[in-house]
Structure 1
């Protein structure tokens, strides 16, 4: 952003990207004007005893380490978005996911990010939370916890959608972003 000469900006993150967006807002709250989080991977906001077991992660990692990339991706995608999601995915999404398959072990082994919402609250950064009506655990609980952590927060649920809410309902997803960033944007 420095290189582009952009000093203030909104940040949007989906899934693991929510972790990146939240960290950016915490590190540079003086520059972030709005934080938008869509089913963010911020499990650290949950009490330790409430984080559900996610066995699909170990199964996906084992399949990947045995060289069965497609099985690993199917297990992982179905785990975060619901059974049968991988089979329903369009070819370009599968190709994109295969190209990024080498990141799977890194994502699975990555420690939880410890979010400190006080920096975001201190600067009064508006936070928009979005989730899918059918998103599996732990995403709804993460959104519930985040809603309690932030001072200036709005929340939206896209129906019917799962963790891939931006792909399931792109028009509705984009409309929420426009309405949050430009409040006078008329609903369509």
Structure 2
């Protein structure tokens, strides 16, 4: 019997945002992360796209009884894609892994949608926990689409699965945004 897992590369890396079992680090070859605007929300979604030469770290976790319904609801606006040999993990060879990505029909043609800082904070917290400072830096470096504002909503988070970050985690996020020259704007 095949085991079914998802590959999370953003907020799903932060296990505080879900209760899917057997989470463990994995690596996806031939893909990069990208911020995508979508008509489904005023802020950008973190997505992934095939590039042929990209590599992104993330987390695989089990989908018990192949019940994708709740995860599909959480990842509304994304479409699941089966991964073959692109994902490297330490699971049994019969494990089936899928990844979520925003399909072309759910993307803005002219994309200037902002990133919610509370969303980014959750993602980076997960990377810090599983991959350390180097892994957090790699997250920023393996993600495209930073030429957009970041809405500073930390004091009143808009992201529904926001988390509390400690001072070191907050400083890591801010340091990488500064390094990339990303502009933070106050929430209006």
TM-score w.r.t. length of structure 2: 0.31
Relative to total residues, which structure has the larger helix share, 1 or 2?
Answer: 1
Q: Higher RCO, 1 or 2 (CA under 8 Å, sep at least 6)?
A: 2
Larger Rg: 1
More strand by share: 2
